[in-house]
Structure 1
Amino acid sequence: MTSDFAPAGTLDARDATRLRVLQCIRSAGTISRTDIARALDSSPATVTSACGALLDAGLIREERRMPSENVQRGRPRVMLQINGEAFAVAGLKVAREAIVVMIVDFRGDEIGSFVSPLEASCMDPDGLVQEVRRALDAACARHGLDTARIAGLSLGIPGFVNGETGFMHWSSSVTERNVDFAPLFRKHLPCPTFLDNDANLVAKAEHLFGAGRGLSNFLVVTLEHGVGMGIILNGELYRGERGCGAELGHMKVQFGGALCQCGQRGCLEAYVGDYALVRDTSTGQQSDAAKSIQDILHAARNGDRLAREVLDRASQILGVALANLVNLFDPEHIVLARSRPPFDHPYTEAMLTSLRRNTVQVDAPLPEITVRNLDEMMWAKGAAALGIEMVTILKIRERGTQDAA
């Protein structure tokens, strides 16, 4: 078993064409060869050749449709669609208390999901990968699936991750820094495995299934224990030169300010992350028992002045951060996804007011803002979507190698 990182740019021209054809089929659902050629502005011969290779590899299948009733003559029309039974892909998200697993078929339809509890929120690299294997095995057993059917696994973790190489610079879930996970994946996992920042996976999920569907330029900000961001530019996930871009949570908002879990001071998440809010409400008489965001909200509703002040300050700071994103990117849409209980209306409104007040004023409407509670399965669904893309590239490359042999 190997752990492969396969950016699309490494494909030769023939395989790149096959990938484009496959993506066109996936986007359309069901489509003819003629319509593919038209959509890709390609020759029918090129499309026919690419489809032949994809059919031989089992990645797509044909469906024959009879002519409509008003057509008197003609042969059945041959349509193409993704072969969902070709293989399965697993998407996993490492959270603080559990590993969330979603298994999908090649079409992207869910086969099943599973939540595997964790005893520790931060582990050594080898221990973390072993937990990933246990979660995968348990998910497959729950849904009666042989792990040999899993063609690839995509894993999302918080922190600074190079998604193209699998190298992790830092993560709040891992006890060590600067870890190359590829050897550990080869040691413990049964299939090609891909690593990425978890917020990138939410952006991928929103792009394919949520508020970002059909958009070319939008941002996703995730708010949980820390703060993450995923960027879609020109329809593609943007990671940065080192794979460490979009780290909104570590944008500095206060010189020499509060201590962040990354070790620096003054980071955004040191004021708006879950751990920061619990820390900042720990000195009030009514807030001494606060262990979670739910506790803080409960205290605020019962008149705790400090809890209200902390929530209001965090909402305003977050609004300023979002305004900076609007000023910097001018996106079509921003999704603020919270893995926490819904904030009361006054705090959401304080955030939006701060955003509007600090955005450069032009005679054009602000981008639409979607504030949603983040379903834990959305993380895993995004991981599975990325896994499908990566495994697709591997399968096409394998087919190209076979053809050249």
Structure 2
Amino acid sequence: MAQIEKSNHNSDQREAGRLQVLDVIRAAGTIARIDIAKETGFSPATVTVITSQLLESGLIEEITPEPAADAKPSTRRGRPRVSLRLRGAAHLIAGIKVAHNSVSVLILDFEGSEVVSHDMPMPEPRMATPYFCETLKRAVSQACAKGGFALSDLSGIGVAMAGLVDAKRNFVYWSSSLTDRNVNLGAHLDRVLPCPVFIDNDANLVAKAEHLFGEGRKVDDFIVVTIEHGVGMGIVIGGEIYRGERGCGAEFGHTKVHLDGALCQCGQRGCLEAYVGNYALLREANIMDREMPLADIGMLFKRAEAGDAMARSIFERAGRMFAMGLANIINIFDPKLIVLAGEQLSFDYLYADAVLEAMHQSSIQVDAPLPEVRVHAWGDQMWAKGAAAYAIEKVSALTVREVPVDA
């Protein structure tokens, strides 16, 4: 028994070492072995062993950097210095963003370079689980066909969706995209898709995308707030996503701002989202003016810009509620940076000067600057990129387990 435990421990160490080397190569783009040793703290001999295994498995490749045009001929003898990089052709990974009205698919290679992107309308905003899974399969299949390869060529798929998601179990307690509750969605998707599927809350994966590609680069502690059909939040602490014990952490949109208040799509009352989310604003507008129902938030915003008092009052109240929520985030977490993300931030009612001033007034006052607030109004393909990046991490972990020790 002791020998088995020791073997498992050694196996875990080997996998962790390979993943660390892969991460360093991914972050650098191209890097020499000696520099990998400096970054990881591993001995040059250990780096040589690990990179040999990764080369043999086809996950990385060697390249000889081209000399600069004005470089003088080298007098050094021997083999030129060789660098390593990830081998993009090793895997194809798909990321899916499930929105209220559409499914966005982005397929990346193992290096993280875009291969193909595709958008497909959602047949219905909410679906039963089997229909939902078939819809995702159809969207990914269309993306693969667009790129000239088969669905079976994918090594992994990341899914970003709104709701309460336990990412460790691929389990969805509740989502605005599903008519069912408490769904083992990973198991359902495994039945219709030929590769591993990794599911997480969409705001978490926006935070991952911000950390890797966006406003959170080189920032290890920050918070992302997403505003679209609903309201979400992703928390990055020490460079890692914080999800909570059950996967239900960071549900900013479902923090309570009014006792027995407006009905939220989650089924409870008084949630922040019920005063700030797009559906909530349209619901209020259409109740107040039944003769001219509005189909989207852009129509309501145009009315506000034109001076419509009803529309302006709806946005002003949403701004006050949102300012209170942001102040609560600052008072609880004291982050270095808050990123407001989402396509709907092309409308400025949630980050107008009056909103940010109200946020400042409700935050704890000390003799130090408040967190910086940045706006990043990106589309669904960037959300899908976060899902694909998450899947690349998971596929990397699965792949290094299969690397032979004596490769």
TM range (shorter): over 0.9
C-alpha contact (below 8 Å) 2:315/2:349 kept by paired residues: no
SS at match of 1:403: coil
Q: CA deviation at 1:302?
A: 2.5
Q: CA deviation at 1:149?
A: 2.1
SS at match of 2:194: coil
| 1:265 paired residue number | 269
| 2:369 paired residue number | 365
Q: 1:371 to 1:30 in 2, by over 3 A?
A: same
- Partners of 1:331 and 1:48 in 2: CA distance: 40
| 1:24 paired residue number | 24
| 1:59 paired residue number | 59
- Partners of 1:404 and 1:241 in 2: CA distance: 38
| 1:193 paired residue number | 197
For residue 300 of structure 2, the aligned residue among 296, 300, 305 is 296
Q: CA deviation at 1:244?
A: 1.1
1:225-374 paired onto structure 2 within 5 Å:
225-285=229-289, 288-340=292-344, 342-344=346-348, 348-374=352-378
Does 2:387 correspond to 1:403? no
Higher deviation after alignment, 246-255 or 371-380: 371-380
Q: 1:252 to 1:403 in 2, by over 3 A?
A: same
- Partners of 1:246 and 1:229 in 2: CA distance: 5
| 1:5 paired residue number | none
Q: 1:10 to 1:102 in 2, by over 3 A?
A: farther
Letter in 2 for 1:31: I
Q: 1:10 to 1:325 in 2, by over 3 A?
A: farther
C-alpha contact (below 8 Å) 2:227/2:345 kept by paired residues: no
Q: 1:306 to 1:328 in 2, by over 3 A?
A: same
C-alpha contact (below 8 Å) 2:336/2:371 kept by paired residues: yes
- Partners of 2:28 and 2:72 in 1: CA distance: 24
C-alpha contact (below 8 Å) 1:297/1:343 kept by paired residues: yes
SS at match of 1:77: coil
Does 2:75 correspond to 1:72? yes
Q: Deviations over 1:16-63 (max 9, x none)?
A: 000000100111111111111111111111111111111111110011
Q: 1:279 to 1:81 in 2, by over 3 A?
A: same
| 1:3 paired residue number | none
Q: 1:177 to 1:273 in 2, by over 3 A?
A: same
- Partners of 1:103 and 1:356 in 2: CA distance: 41
Provide structure 1 residue ranges, at least 5 long, that are not aligned to the other structure.
Answer: 1-8
SS at match of 2:253: helix
Letter in 2 for 1:51: T
Does 2:146 correspond to 1:142? yes
Q: 1:293 to 1:380 in 2, by over 3 A?
A: same
Q: 1:57 to 1:283 in 2, by over 3 A?
A: same
Does 2:390 correspond to 1:386? yes
SS at match of 2:82: strand
TM-score with structure 1 setting the length: 0.93
Q: 1:346 to 1:391 in 2, by over 3 A?
A: closer
- Partners of 1:295 and 1:183 in 2: CA distance: 40
SS at match of 1:219: strand
> CA RMSD of the aligned region, Å?
2.0
- Partners of 1:393 and 1:80 in 2: CA distance: 19
Q: 1:403 to 1:178 in 2, by over 3 A?
A: same
Q: 1:92 to 1:397 in 2, by over 3 A?
A: same
Q: 1:246 to 1:158 in 2, by over 3 A?
A: same
Q: Deviations over 1:283-310 (max 9, x none)?
A: 3349832222112112212222121111
Q: Deviations over 1:252-279 (max 9, x none)?
A: 0011111111111100000000011011
Higher deviation after alignment, 138-147 or 60-69: 60-69
- Partners of 2:291 and 2:48 in 1: CA distance: 67
- Partners of 2:201 and 2:328 in 1: CA distance: 22
Q: CA deviation at 1:11?
A: 6.9
Q: 1:299 to 1:393 in 2, by over 3 A?
A: same
Does 2:46 correspond to 1:46? yes
Q: 1:264 to 1:404 in 2, by over 3 A?
A: farther
| 2:4 paired residue number | none
Letter in 2 for 1:159: G
C-alpha contact (below 8 Å) 1:161/1:167 kept by paired residues: yes
- Partners of 1:382 and 1:245 in 2: CA distance: 18
Higher deviation after alignment, 44-53 or 61-70: 61-70
SS at match of 2:134: helix
SS at match of 2:266: coil
TM-score with structure 2 setting the length: 0.93
Q: CA deviation at 1:351?
A: 1.6
C-alpha contact (below 8 Å) 1:287/1:304 kept by paired residues: no
SS at match of 1:85: helix
SS at match of 2:307: coil
Q: 1:395 to 1:69 in 2, by over 3 A?
A: same
Letter in 1 for 2:315: L
Letter in 2 for 1:383: A
Letter in 2 for 1:189: L
| 2:3 paired residue number | none
Q: 1:300 to 1:88 in 2, by over 3 A?
A: same
- Partners of 1:296 and 1:10 in 2: CA distance: 60
Q: 1:192 to 1:72 in 2, by over 3 A?
A: same
| 1:99 paired residue number | 103
- Partners of 1:131 and 1:187 in 2: CA distance: 13
